[in-house]
Amino acid sequence: MLDEARIRHLELIQTIVTRMGNNSFLIKGWSLTVTGALLAYAVGNDESGIALVSLVPVLAFWLLDGYFLYQERLFRRLYDRVRKPDVGIEPFAMDVAPGREEAGVLKAALSPTIASFYGGLVLAQVFALLFVL
């Protein structure tokens, strides 16, 4: 049975995991909006330079979304450690260092769900570039 402090600790970690998921959702919305606006302008005005430059925000959003997913994974690992009895984690400690891995953000950014979303945006940009050229 978990004591009250451990339950509160788990709730706090779950709040952070939820916030990371919401941030990822917002980033996807912004990336769609910015990419759609830039590509619509580029195609409507035959501006190949704008279509090419619009790759920069997509890549930035892609990495930022990967960062949020990586942070979410770290806090899920912390949650998993805190929920186990007799782990020896201080109450309300938020140290995610034991869950870190090399190339964590890159690995998260290349996860199938994120890579397919942003890969689709890059593919749309390639089509727009071909259309404008």
Tens-place pLDDT, residues 75-114? 999 999 999 887 788 889 899 988 888 778 999 999 999 9
Q: Is the pLDDT of residue 117 over 80?
A: yes
Between the CA of residue 102 and those of 67, 69, 71, 98, 105, what are the distances in Å?
13, 15, 13, 12, 8
Q: Which of 22-36, 41-55, 109-123 has the lowest mean pLDDT?
A: 41-55
Give the domain extent around 70.
4-132
Q: What is the pTM of this model?
A: 0.89
The domain tally of the chain equals: 1
